[in-house]
Amino acid sequence: MRIAVLGTGTVGRTIATKLVDLGHEVTMGSRSSDSEALRDWLKDAGEAAGGGSFADAAAAAELVFNCTAGGASLDALAAAGADNLAGKILVDVANPLDFSHGMPPTLTVCNDDSLGERIQAAVPQAKVVKALNTVNAEVMVAPEKVGGDHALFICGNDDTAKSETTALLESFGWPGRRVIDLGDISAARGMEMYLPLWLRLMGSLETPEFNIEVHKA
């Protein structure tokens, strides 16, 4: 599959590398098509990897990952171009975190709105699926790092898009039974509001490589 990964940070590089390893044709998108981070990733990424601007990456892709910083996501997707995203699954991994006042960060949007919903409103012809934002980058692509039957959450308005995203997550190592569909894109509110708790847990556990299990009676 031709996949675009927008964002050259740790999450973007980790997901892009995993996708290349799985045999996908991956184009990493950056604000600058000649950024140092993009060049560094391409050095070791292999022949199935490419790079360019956000628009270059989105235009060539069948599926797009938004791995940009949450505060920059809407601008990055605008730069990618609504026409380049129309009709495509857009997996949103970003969190609306504001680090301007130090740690712990606050959320720039919460309660009755979410970044996921704002992205869906900004690119209404895309099929936005919120996923992977509740675990750190290494656990995203290697869930076996965490023992137990831990859970991953997704949400979005398009059931087919969620099914296809779940299949891709299974190739990352997430059994389908662990992927819990929370419903439409408004469920991104809860997924994003989990981040303050996740950050506190990371500090208490002294590691980012953890997750939660969900049990029902």
Distances in Å between the alpha carbon of 32 and those of 35, 86, 123, 198? 5, 22, 22, 31
Mean pLDDT of 210-214: 96
The pLDDT-based confidence of 32 (bands split at 50, 70, 90) is: confident
For residue 113, pLDDT beyond 80: yes
The size of the chain, in residues, is 217
**Cα dihedral 155, 30, 22, 125 in deg (nearest 10):** 40
For residue 102, pLDDT beyond 90: no
Question: What class does CATH assign to 2-205?
Answer: alpha beta
For residue 38, pLDDT beyond 90: no
Distances in Å between the alpha carbon of 217 and those of 88, 176, 214? 38, 20, 10
Instruction: Using DSSP, state whether 97 is helix, strand or coil.
Output: strand
What percent of the chain is predicted at pLDDT more than 70?
100
Residue 46 region, left (φ>0) first, then alpha (ψ -120 to 50), else beta? left
Which H helix or E strand runs over 198?
helix 195-205
Q: Mean pLDDT, the chain, as a whole number? A: 94
For residue 42, pLDDT beyond 90: no
Res 146: pLDDT: 94
Distances in Å between the alpha carbon of 101 and those of 32, 135, 157, 162, 198? 27, 23, 34, 35, 18
Q: Mind listing the pLDDT tens digit for each residue in 147-156? A: 889 999 999 9
Res 18: pLDDT: 96
Structure tokens at 21: 């390893």
For residue 20, pLDDT beyond 90: yes
Mean pLDDT of 14-40: 90
Res 48: pLDDT: 78
Residue at token pair 């408004």: 186
CA distance 111 to 65: 24
Alpha helices in 46-158 (DSSP H): 54-60, 73-80, 82-85, 115-122, 137-141
